[in-house]
Structure 1
Amino acid sequence: MVHSPVRTTIQAESGIPFRLVYADTKAPQNELPDHLHDWHEIIYVYRGQGTIFIDTGLEDMQAGDLFIIPGSTVHRALPDEVNPVTSSALFFSPGLLASAAGGSASFLLSLFERCRRRRVYKRQLAVDEQAKVRTFIDEIHAELELGNPLSAHAVLLHLQLLLIFLERLEDADPASSAHSSSGPGWLSAILSNIDDKLRGGLSLSELAVQAAVSPAHFSRAFKKYTGMTLTDYALARRVIMAKEHLLRNDDTMASVADACGFESLPHFYRQFKKITGTTPAAYRRTMNA
């Protein structure tokens, strides 16, 4: 059976485009496949250890870590088999804040754009900062459990307060946002510039030569550390690039397909819909509405 490893559909809660997965312990066999969605995501780690693949890099996961993941970023958590991570994950549509926060929405979302631009998604929290983040998450969870007519509004308020808190942390101590890469150095080097190779097509043998390993070893290591095959990862990156082109300009679909390295216009339409659930034209209309 053909399986798409990067598409995730997020179910909203309380009638708003928001979801909380609360204090969840994921065994390796139960972890979601690599996923790619338009919602922003915040992950807080309570305990355990593991690795998370985000965008083009690998990060260690341990107690007190916070991950800020912008929408349309390929990512997958890879929990430790003996001591898996217990974490809470908050998902929300950027449009949620546009309607709730008005002119402040761009400020509240700037943290995600900085993370995307810098490709730094992890923040190591101090003990008092961990307690504060846990309190915000607990309050959101309590409101969702309560489920009364004002719960959705309360969830929005707590989410905005959490984002304000994180923005102020970044202003006060930007150095706490840091890399803690795991995996072989050659893999990080390959991933850091893989987008440049997408238009011309990726060659496993050429990448293996660049990494100074055999093609078989390259494939095994790539799958082990990223949780996906090179083909699946390249497709996800092409779809992300296509989304950016569709929103950034009025280029024709043929131009977008060519710029992102798709084999043909029909191939672009077919793969884009498989990953996102919608056509490129519908995606452009919806996101620009």
Structure 2
Amino acid sequence: MKPIRKPFFGDPLFPFELAYKTVKKQINELPDHLHDRYELVYIHQGKGVFFIDNNWYEKKQGDLFIIPGNTIHHSLPHNEDPIVSSALFFAPPLLAMEPIDDSYHNLLCFDFARKKRAYRIEQPQYLISVTEAALEQIHQELEDKKTGYHEAVKLITCQLLLQINRFIRSVKERNPVGEPGVGPSWMKDVLRNIDEHPERENSLARLAEKANVSAPHFSRVFRQLTTMNVTQYVNAKRIILAKELLVRSDQNIIEISEQCGYETPTHFYRVFKALTGLTPNKYRNNQTNM
């Protein structure tokens, strides 16, 4: 199953949504998916596993997950102890205000998560209290819709991000970030290599040989942990790279398709539209306008 695009149906002029204290069970969870919005997921109670990018995380009460845009992820709650969580989604330009202090901006924690591939925060009690209070306040503002509630939601969210950023900075200064412990080490190596070089030829046979396991075993474990086959996963990673190049560079579509590992622009166009719903040019124009 290829990763799907999570749809959003809120106000396009205020790209911000909160799914507050929803019960998560495996039967109604999305498979591998990605979206342009940034996401914060807080675990109120329950247990499960979160696959984010190329890592697996155990989920438990009090955990906070920081998921930048265009990051493949899916959740597997335990059926016996289902997750109750709150998920906050927003378009980064909504909160990416010009900082007065060059060393700080609201989205630092997302930059840190992407750079270090560390998407989970095991929060201390004071930050748990801050997070729960902020989510409750945001939920109330969105429910009541009083005058200025859009600004109130932005202010509360920025204050929450400030506390998260300060905590991450303090932890980073004390301890190096370690890798999550879920999943076999050879699979972590494979996913890391695909992530670093999605443009390379990454066939099932080649990857299984490098991992020193049989192709059937590799395929079974890969699909079990990522819910995709190798081709689908590689294409998803290539399109994520293509999105970044479309937004951050002036390269033309042919150059980008080659840099992402596609032999022809036609193949690139077809895969890009299948995964994003847009042509590469339309995606670039939309992001530029935003």
Pairwise same-fold verdict (TM > 0.5): yes
Partner SS for 1:51 = strand
Q: Contact 1:5/1:35 (CA < 8 Å) preserved in 2? A: yes
- Are residues 1:254 and 2:262 paired? no
Closer, same or farther: CA 92–104 of 1 in aligned 2, 3 Å? farther
Between 131-140 and 213-222, the greater mean CA deviation after superposition: 213-222
**Which digits, 9 at most, give the CA deviation of each residue in 1:134-191, with x for residues without a partner?**
1100110111111233222211111111111111111222249654331112111111
One-letter amino acid matched to 1:87: S
Change (3 A) 1:10 1:166: same
Give the total of aligned pairs. 285
Partner of 1:240: 240
Match of 1:40 among 13, 38, 50: 38
Is the Cα–Cα contact under 8 Å of residues 4 and 274 in structure 1 kept in the other structure? no
Residue 86 of structure 2 is aligned with which of 66, 88, 92? 88
| Residue 192 in structure 1 maps to residue 192 in structure 2 | yes
Identity of aligned residues (%): 38
Deviates more, 1:212-221 or 1:66-75: 212-221
Which residue is 2:201 aligned to?
Answer: 201
Unaligned runs of 5+ in 1: none
Structure-2 separation of matches of 1:87 and 1:176: 28
Asked if 2 retains the 8 angstrom alpha-carbon contact of 1:14 and 1:144, the reply is no
Stretches of structure 2 that go unaligned for 5 or more consecutive residues are none
Do 1:45 and 1:63's aligned partners in 2 also have CA atoms closer than 8 Å? yes
Contact 2:203 2:230 in 1 (8 A): no
| Secondary structure of the structure 2 residue equivalent to 1:33 | coil
CA distance in 1, matches of 2:176, 2:62: 12
Task: Output the CA distance in 1 between the equivalents of 2:171 and 2:138.
Answer: 26
The answer to whether the Cα contact below 8 Å between 1:190 and 1:211 also exists between their aligned partners in 2 is yes
1:104-253 matches, cutoff 5 A: 107-174=105-172, 175=175, 179-253=179-253
SS in 2 for 1:108: coil
Matches of 1:222 and 1:32, distance apart in 2:
18
The worse-fitting range, judged by mean Cα deviation, of 193-202 and 213-222 is: 193-202
Q: How far 1:272 moved relative to its partner? A: 0.9
Q: CA RMSD in A?
A: 2.0
1:74 pairs, out of 54, 69, 72, with 72
After superposition, the C-alpha distances for 1:41-94 in whole angstroms (9 at most, x for unaligned) are 111111111111111111111111111111111111111222222111100001
Distance 2:198 2:83 in 1: 33
8 Å contact from structure 1 (residues 122, 179) kept in 2: no
Task: Answer whether contact 1:78 1:227 (CA < 8 A) is retained.
Answer: no
> In the TM superposition, what whole-angstrom CA distance separates every residue of 1:239-273 from its partner, at most 9, and x where no partner exists?
00101111222112111001111231011111111
What is aligned with 2:55? 57
CA contact (8 A) 2:2 2:228 kept: no
SS in 1 for 2:42: strand
Q: TM-score, normalised by structure 1?
A: 0.92
